[in-house]
């Protein structure tokens, strides 16, 4: 029987990427705790958060008596990091401008953690992978940053930009997996699903 996928994410970008892979899935929103020790490295940070999201989705499925060997949970978390400092989603327009000012003219990393969970007879099984992509921004003026923030696009994006949107104009160079910057490395995801 074909596996059924549960995407533990409200992100329309991740949903679109899964559809592009030909995966049929159901979206399950959780209230996973995303507060993590700030001393963690960016790759460790996303690994912890995506596993928590998967665990929250699994708990919700078990509570609803929906656990099944045919169900596979997919969870992801993305952060932007500059010299080890983590940039999540901006809390305000001023915060978005602060992030973009720091990122302009520099190379930063985008880390996405992916956790895939399956139900077994003993206990749910979790596998996590991390993907990193280098992104270099063009030098930006204060006016360019303010104009971009005024579009509203940065407000729900890690690092305050969308590579697949108007934010593409901010980027000078990208080295690595483009989809990872959008929200999930479909290459890594499909490899994880294959290992199951």
pLDDT on residue 153 = 96
Active-site residue, from 37, 43, 77, 134:
77
Backbone φ and ψ of 134, nearest 5°: -90, 130
Burial of 167 (0-12, 13-18, 19+ CB in 10 A): buried
| Of the candidates 135, 66, 142, the residue with the CA atom closest to the CA atom of residue 101 | 142
Listed by start position, the domains of the chain span 4-195
Render each residue's pLDDT in the chain as its tens digit; 196 residues. Answer: 456 999 999 899 999 999 999 999 999 999 888 777 778 899 999 999 999 999 999 999 999 998 888 899 999 999 999 998 999 899 999 999 999 999 999 999 999 999 999 998 788 999 999 999 999 999 999 999 999 999 999 998 999 999 999 999 999 999 999 999 999 999 999 999 998 7
Tell me, yes or no, if the pTM score tops 0.85. yes
Q: Is 177 noted as a catalytic residue in this protein?
A: no
Choose the CATH number for 4-195 among 3.90.950.10, 3.40.50.620, 2.40.50.140, 3.40.50.720: 3.90.950.10
Sign of the torsion formed by the C-alpha atoms of 40, 43, 48 and 50: positive
For residues 94 and 129, give the distance between their C-alpha atoms in angstroms, rounded to a whole number: 33
């Amino acid at each position: 029987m074909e596996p059924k996928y549960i995407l533990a994410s409200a992100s329309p970008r991740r949903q679109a990427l899964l559809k592009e892979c030909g995966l049929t899935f159901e979206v399950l929103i959780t209230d996973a705790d995303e507060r993590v020790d700030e001393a963690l490295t960016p790759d460790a940070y996303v690994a912890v958060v995506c596993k928590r999201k998967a665990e929250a989705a699994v708990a919700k499925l078990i509570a609803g008596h929906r656990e099944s060997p045919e169900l596979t949970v997919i969870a992801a978390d993305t952060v932007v990091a500059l010299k080890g400092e983590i940039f999540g989603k901006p809390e305000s327009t001023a915060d978005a401008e602060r992030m973009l000012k720091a990122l302009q003219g520099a190379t930063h990393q985008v880390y996405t953690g992916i956790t895939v969970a399956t139900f077994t007879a003993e206990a749910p099984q979790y596998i996590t992978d991390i993907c990193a992509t280098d992104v270099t921004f063009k030098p930006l003026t204060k006016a360019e940053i303010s104009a971009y923030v005024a579009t509203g696009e940065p407000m729900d994006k890690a690092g305050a930009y969308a590579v697949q949107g108007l934010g593409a104009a901010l980027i000078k160079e990208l080295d690595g997996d483009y989809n990872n910057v959008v929200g999930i490395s479909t290459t890594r995801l499909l490899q994880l699903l294959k290992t199951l």
